[in-house]
């Protein structure tokens, strides 16, 4: 009895998770932004890395910025003290 090999050939493309978003992406010369999944992820990750190297402090969350803006708006719209 013969056992046919159903294994895929060893030439299958190696896939690695994108360091930025985790999407499995082909790690080959076909992918110019390997090991990232796309140019966007690559530039975003480099941007994050670059800003981290300049600023150790964490960037404020979008929610924080929104809250700040709301507070500014509120103080601007607040009725002035009557005398
Ligand atoms: Zn990605």
Rounded Cα gap, residues 68 and 76, in angstroms: 12
Question: Over the chain, what is the mean pLDDT?
Answer: 78
- Kind and range of the H or E element at 17? strand 15-17
pLDDT surpassing 70 at residue 2: no
Distance 9 CA to ligand 1 centre (A): 27
H helices, E strands: number in the chain? 2, 2
Distance 12 CA to ligand 1 centre (A): 21
Provide the residues around ligand 1 (an ion) whose CB is within 5 A.
18, 20-21, 23, 37, 41
Percent of the chain whose pLDDT exceeds 90: 20
pLDDT in tens, 44-61: 877 777 776 666 555 567
Distance 16 CA to ligand 1 centre (A): 10
Known binding-site residues equal: 18, 21, 37, 41
Longest CA pairwise span in the chain (Å): 102
Domain segments of the chain as ranges: 13-56
- Helix ranges (H only) for 1-83 are 39-54, 62-77
Q: If one looks up domain 13-56 in CATH, what number appears?
A: 3.30.50.10
């Amino acid at each position: 009895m013969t056992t046919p090999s159903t294994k895929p050939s060893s030439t299958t493309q190696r896939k690695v998770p994108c360091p930025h978003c985790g999407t499995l992406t082909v790690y080959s010369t076909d992918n110019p932004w390997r090991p990232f999944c796309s140019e966007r992820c690559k530039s975003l990750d480099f941007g994050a890395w670059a800003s981290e190297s300049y600023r150790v402090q964490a960037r404020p969350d979008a929610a924080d910025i929104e809250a700040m803006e709301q507070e500014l708006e509120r103080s601007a719209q607040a009725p002035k003290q009557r005398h």
